[in-house]
Structure 1
Amino acid sequence: MLDRDGCARIAAIDLGTVSSRLSLARVRDGAIVDSEKHSVITDMGQGVDATGRFSAGAIDRVEAACRTFAEEARAFGATATCVTLTSAARDAENAEELLARLRALGLAPQIIPGEVEARLTFYGVAHDFPGERIAVADPGGGSTEIVVGTYDPRHAHLELEHVRSLDIGCRRLTDRFFTADPPAAEELADAAVWSHGQFASYWDEFADRPSRFISVGGTVTTLVSLTYELEPYDSSFVHLHGLTLEEVERQLDRMSTLTVAQIRELKGIQPKRAPMMQAGTIIIRELMRTGGYEELTVSESSLLAGMAATIDEALRGEKPVVGWTPELSE
């Protein structure tokens, strides 16, 4: 069903390792006309790297966020809602406990493979760079997806040269390497060395890397907010803003001797993101270093944008460009 402007009203919910996010979008012929986002840091992946299980608290937090999201979707008049879960859910042996709670809310949750996550993210980002060969990275809480490719909207053609999902993210890195608060210099160095090796294995496969490198996710948007001390946060300023390697290194140096409590007080940060910011910034820095990039472009059009376009394609009976068909609830 379309609204009077000919738009489908769509709700996309992405349940990540750190954040649970909702996008309420009006989509016409595959293009997002307008959207409203709501993000809650639920830290679903806390402890998963060590235990292989979701904690009871994490399940409760995600269920509470999704109950609110479902209410917002109904109020918005969404004709279809899609829910995806990513890295932490792929790792947790008790993921079915969370999925059952979400189904009880009337949702149809799907745990998606890393490659599908990467394709959706690239598709969401690439709409802003039609026909341009780009590299896109999505450093999350439990995994980082990296894709090189091109999207031609004139022919709805997505050409992906190399898609990789790596088990490295800010929550995983924090849990694996940091024991002190603030982390010891050796802990920061070990995390950087390990991250460097993970990303070098991807970039070393390319003799001809794209000139434009784009990153999405809470860490990189927060780095822009910290650099410019944005209060309140301004998504229109952050979207498609450039962030240099020098600026990333400056923020990492600034945080390296701070406790989590002190990082929470920095102007421009979302307080609940503070425990993972040092690890997340190391990941961004090593992505840029190994890729040979002195600057990246920050995008807010991430997996949620790719989901919205894909849901619209499914509703119109078209074969999804990304090669993945979403499960939908009304």
Structure 2
Amino acid sequence: MTETNERSVTVAGVDCGTNSIRLKISRVDEHGYTDVLPRVLRVVRLGQDVDKTHRFADEALERAYAAAREFAGLLEEHHVDGLRFVATSATRDAANREAFEDGIESILGVRPEVIPGTEEARLSFLGATSVLGPEQDGTMPAPPYLVVDLGGGSTELVLGGDGVDAPADEVTHAFSMNIGSVRMTERHLLSDPPTQEQIEEAVADIDAHIEEAFRTVPAERTGTIIGVSGTVTTMTALSMGLSEYNHAAVDGRRVSIDEITDVDTRFLLMSRADRRAYKTIHPGRIDVVGGGALVWSRVLAKVAERANAARGAGTITSYVASEHGLLDGIVLDYGRRLLAA
């Protein structure tokens, strides 16, 4: 029997976003990572009203602390070499973020890292591309990859290399937009269901952010769009007609832009009561999934328009949904750094 001295570390990562908080424990080695405890997700709506008040609400903080206490219990069951807690859009915007950081540190023993949008983009790209594999016809998705991480408070556009002048898994351009499912719902889509005027105002807001992002990210170079986050995977599952959410079925699914736009529009115009009939939608996303769907539709339309104008009609007609993104990037990046140290 051949002995191996391959080194590995077991790390935990927490991704605390505007709408949800997620924990993952993985073993990382030179080949990648293997889950020890698959993703645990809790919808806490930490970003409740942050766009308006620029502060965390007391009840939102308590929801986040309750999830952190649950995570602490899970971490006691698994030996880990380190824990990295990453906080994103809502925490960047909150004036009382120090109170949140103090509370989390008292529960989990680590202080949250409030990362900038560019670092969030890099980690999302790392997570999404690290597990990218052949599609049903046996071919790999065409680079350059544009990873779209659509969160509750922000949306990151991250473009990688073409595989020739720059490695396909290397980030070349990135931009973080202050638009997301929670932010658009609280800012514009106030009626249930939203009015046409509210939708038009939201579209104008979203499109302005996308055009600003395109000044940094050359979206016309896109070979494959990879969509990550709860909004993208939820809308993908709905387009598939799943009666219940199925991670394995959604991961890697290719969906046409025309098809998902129709689904996005249907659920945007739907009342919250009607959305509750769909078990595919997590209960914590019922009220904001329409806002996320609208952001997703506009990003897809704008990227396709730009790529098809520059490289010919039919260049971009679909996207690939991924269950892997920021949280995967957190554990993989952190594990690699511990191994290197």
Give me the TM-score of the superposition, normalised by structure 1. 0.88
**Counterpart of 1:59 in structure 2: which amino acid?**
L
Deviation at 1:242, TM superposition (A): 1.1
| Correspondence for 2:26 | 25
Is residue 191 of structure 1 aligned with residue 193 of structure 2?
Answer: no
For structure 1, the 5+ residue unaligned runs are: 319-330
Cα distance change of structure 1 residues 33 and 198 upon mapping to structure 2, 3 Å threshold:
same
Q: Does 1:161 align with 2:172?
A: yes
Which consecutive residues of structure 2, in runs of 5 or more, have no partner in the other structure?
A: 134-141, 305-315
Matched residue, 1:13: 14
Q: CA deviation at 1:202?
A: 2.6
Aligned residue for 1:309?
Answer: 332
The residue number in structure 1 matching 2:183 is: 172
1:93/1:207 CA distance change after superposition, 3 Å: closer
5 Å-filtered alignment, 1:47-196, equals 47-105=49-107, 106-129=109-132, 132-150=143-161, 159-196=170-207
1:128-165 CA deviation, whole Å, 9 max, x = no partner?
3489421111111111111111398xx99963221101
What do residues 1-43 of structure 1 show as CA deviations (whole Å, max 9, x unaligned)? Answer: xxx9954221100000001011111222250123511111100
- 1:249 alignment partner AA: T
Distance 1:179 1:108 in 2: 35
Distance 1:169 1:27 in 2: 31
**AA matched with 2:131:** D
Describe the SS at the equivalent of 1:82: strand
Once the two structures are TM-superposed, the CA of residue 257 in structure 1 deviates from its matched residue by 3.5
Equivalence for 1:38:
40
For residues 78 and 243 of structure 2, what CA distance do their matches in structure 1 show?
A: 27
Report the counterpart of residue 269 of structure 1 in structure 2: 281
Count matched residues. 313
- AA at the equivalent of 1:136: V
The offset of 1:59, in angstroms, is 0.4
Question: Among the aligned pairs, what percent are the same residue?
Answer: 30
Q: Shift of residue 48 of structure 1?
A: 0.2
Q: Deviations over 1:255-288 (max 9, x none)?
A: 2442212212224111210111111001110111
Offset of 1:312 from its aligned partner? 1.0
The list of structure 1 runs, each at least 4 consecutive aligned residues, that deviate by more than 6 angstroms after superposition, is none
Greater mean deviation of Cα atoms: 105-114 or 50-59: 105-114
Q: What residue is the counterpart of 1:321 in the other structure?
A: none
Question: For residues 124 and 245 of structure 1, what CA distance do their matches in structure 2 show?
Answer: 23
1:247 and 1:158 mapped to 2: Cα distance?
28
The one-letter amino acid paired with 1:146 is L
In structure 1, C-alpha distance between the alignment counterparts of 2:129 and 2:268, rounded to whole Å:
34
Aligned to 1:225: 237
Provide Cα deviations, 1:106-130, integer angstroms capped at 9, x if missing partner: 1231111111100000111121348
Say which SS state the counterpart of residue 340 (structure 2) adopts. Answer: coil
Q: Give the residue type in structure 2 aligned to 1:240.
A: G
From 253, 257, 267, give the equivalent of 1:241.
Answer: 253
AA in 2 matched with 1:217: S
Shift of residue 294 of structure 1?
A: 2.5
Judge which range, 289-298 or 158-167, deviates more: 158-167
RMSD, aligned CA: 2.3
Question: More deviation in 244-253 or 301-310?
Answer: 244-253
Helix, strand or coil: the match of 2:28?
Answer: strand
Question: Measured at CA, do residues 281 and 252 of structure 1 come closer, stay the same or move farther in structure 2, by a change above 3 Å?
Answer: same
Tell me the TM-score normalised to structure 2 length. Answer: 0.86
